[in-house]
Structure 1
Amino acid sequence: MRTRRRSADPAHRKPEFRISVLVVDHGETVDELLAAALAQPLEVHVCTDAAEALLHVGKLCPDVVLLGPGSGRLDPIEFLNIVRADDPEQPVIVGADAGCSEFTSRASDAGASAVVPRPYRVRELLALINSLAPAPNQVDLRPLALDLGRLRVDGAVPQMWLDGRQIELPPMEFLLLRFFAERPGELVTREEVRGAVWGKGVTIRSNTLNVHIMRLRKRLSDDERNPQWIKVIRGLGYQFRVPPVVDREFAE
């Protein structure tokens, strides 16, 4: 059996240890994955035809293959069978549409490393790709930026954009905003917020969370007397929402 691993072949190793992903699929969520990959240490190659993709497997020696249910000269499960016969250890993630239980079952029987639902959830898919990549090439993927329309929060740099205006944030306020922005509309308790931002078991002053939320509200231009971004649900916790833009002239 030929040696596929780029990590074992110095000719294929790169100093930045980028993860090579061969995507055998098409559609909007593939486009979303490509857009997200621009900010990640990934090399993504897309091929919509499974028969042609077999040639790319041999040429590219990808760390991970993402295989969709597409139609073409070669059935996706046949593609998986051929790959498995050549290299039983090749990580292959199979995407299955809702309601396609037969396809899911066939993919599992053929030796898929994981079967995930389509449309893909890009954040979860990136984490799975990172976990399946060979250890020498494994890297820490950068958190994705969160885009909530009026509000955009950077994935790693402590900054946000409010209505297109860039605003720098102190580290703890950035972590607090990321926590809320990842859960729009959800009810979260004070304990959950403290544990996620300051760490579980870490003791902080009783008013520390209140002070940081007050400062974050100011950066969001929120109304302190009637907050719309970060609401207090009395006795339960907090709820984060992105309010619509108010037409000040109309309001007056």
Structure 2
Amino acid sequence: MSGSVTEGWESDNTQFHTRHRACVSASTRVPDRLAVLLVEHDSDIARELTDAFVGQPVEVRQCTDPAVALLQVGRTCPDVVLLGPASGRLGAADFLAIIRELDHELPIIVGAGAGAGDLAAQAAELGATAVVRRPYQARELLGLLRSFAPRPDAVELRPMVIDLGRLRVDGAVPQFWLDGRVVALPPQEFVLLRYFAERLGAVLTRAELNRAVWGDKLGVRSNSLTVHIMRLRKRLGDEEHNPKWVKVVRGLGYQFTVPPAADTATGPAGDPTRTVPAQATPSERSPDVHTG
């Protein structure tokens, strides 16, 4: 086991190997990226977390066996260890106890899910840096990981992808995915869509939306917001006279929702693919909600 792992590290040009060389030479660590060792046996949880961190200044390396993870800690000097429940030659608590005997400063975040009260209690007693919920909330976890960087101010996080099921909005590139299809956006429509997506279901006033997209540069009587919402609806495949994505709430503003696929009559940007409309929910039939 150790031979194959050792060979892998010796030919490794990733951030982990950079940190290993820095540790060996006692030089300063690379400050603008994080190397995170994820000790996790659940492949689905590991994949979701790794996918969520794509494009971020964070490199995640997964290890399913805590015994092997001990070797990796010594050889790669990660910035942070993210430790989940584990079984095998060592358990999670055993791993934590051994690391703390050797290194009192290495940040170790323990993930404990529902019913893992024993692990959470053991982690606190054994010197875990923090205990968080598992499955992990990527957005909150990313900020916590950044706080353990040698220079947190040098680690520039990107806005994360907003995942709303059918709709995924990119974190920085002006584009979104609808039912798996990528759609490019002009910059201002992108800002508008992200603002809507971050406030799913909330009723937003025109004044608030104008400020979010244009700041103080837009005149009170400008119809730019109306035009941009109309274009955004078209890209989402919304019906002109009965929109499901961006609704007008009379006297208040706009409300953004993600309708089921059957509620969409046309695909993005006028894709002629048609589906059978679903029955409207009571809230959609309410006389207080109108299209516009």
TM over 0.5: yes
Letter in 1 for 2:68: E
Name the structure 1 match of 2:57.
41
Which of 141, 144, 152 in structure 1 is aligned with 2:157? 141
Which of 83, 89, 92 in structure 2 is aligned with 1:67? 83
**Counterparts of 1:249 and 1:116, CA distance in 2:** 42
Q: Tell me the percent identity.
A: 55
Offset from partner CA, 1:11-41 (integer Å, 9 cap, x none)? 5768794311111112111111223344333
Aligned residues: CA RMSD: 3.2
Which of 19, 22, 25 in structure 1 is aligned with 2:34? 19
Gaps of 5+ in 1: none
Where relative contact order (Cα < 8 A, 6+ residues apart) is larger, the structure is 1
Greater shift, 186-195 or 53-62, is seen at 186-195
How far did 1:155 drift? 1.8
How far did 1:149 drift? 4.6
Letter in 1 for 2:88: G
Greater shift, 69-78 or 161-170, is seen at 161-170
Question: Number of paired residues?
Answer: 244
Larger of the two Rg values belongs to structure: 2
Could you say what secondary structure the match of 2:145 adopts? helix
Name the structure 2 match of 1:131.
147
**Counterparts of 2:213 and 2:196, CA distance in 1:** 10
Contact 2:203–2:249 (CA<8 Å) still a contact in 1? no
Letter in 2 for 1:205: G
**Counterparts of 1:249 and 1:79, CA distance in 2:** 53
Letter in 2 for 1:189: L
Gaps of 5+ in 2: 1-17, 266-272, 278-292
Letter in 2 for 1:116: V
1:129-208 aligned at under 5 Å gives the runs 129-135=145-151, 138-163=154-179, 165-184=181-200, 186-190=201-205, 193=209, 196-197=212-213, 202=216, 204-206=218-220, 207=222, 208=224
Greater shift, 42-51 or 238-247, is seen at 238-247
Check if 1:50 corresponds to 2:70: no
How far did 1:138 drift? 4.7
Contact 1:19–1:137 (CA<8 Å) still a contact in 2? no
Could you say what secondary structure the match of 1:70 adopts? coil
Name the structure 2 match of 1:87.
103
Check if 1:76 corresponds to 2:92: yes
How far did 1:163 drift? 4.8
**Counterparts of 1:197 and 1:131, CA distance in 2:** 30
Could you say what secondary structure the match of 1:34 adopts? helix
